[in-house]
Amino acid sequence: MRIVADENIPLLDAFFAGFGEIRRLPGRSIDRAAVADADVLLVRSVTPVTREMLEGSPVRFVGTCTI
């Protein structure tokens, strides 16, 4: 599984490393190109997730670490 995640998510490896390959990016730079080959998208509140961003991508799960 290919996971694109905000690099500032705490304990990212502890929780998700066993599920697949993690690509860490600055939250503000996660865009359509970044998710073009991702199965999972993990974001914080700084990343706007829109229909346009996900349309045509293989992303099947979007999770947030916003509290």
| Banded model confidence at residue 53, pLDDT cuts 50, 70, 90 | very high
Architecture in CATH for domain 2-64:
3-Layer(aba) Sandwich (3.40)
Where in the chain are the domains?
2-64
Number of Cβ atoms within 10 Å of the Cβ of 5:
24
Q: What pTM, to 2 d.p., does this model score?
A: 0.93
Structure confidence by residue, pLDDT tens digits, 12-52: 999 999 999 999 999 999 999 999 999 999 999 999 999 99
Q: For residue 65, what pLDDT is reported?
A: 87
Residue at token pair 């073009």: 36
Q: For residue 64, what pLDDT is reported?
A: 94
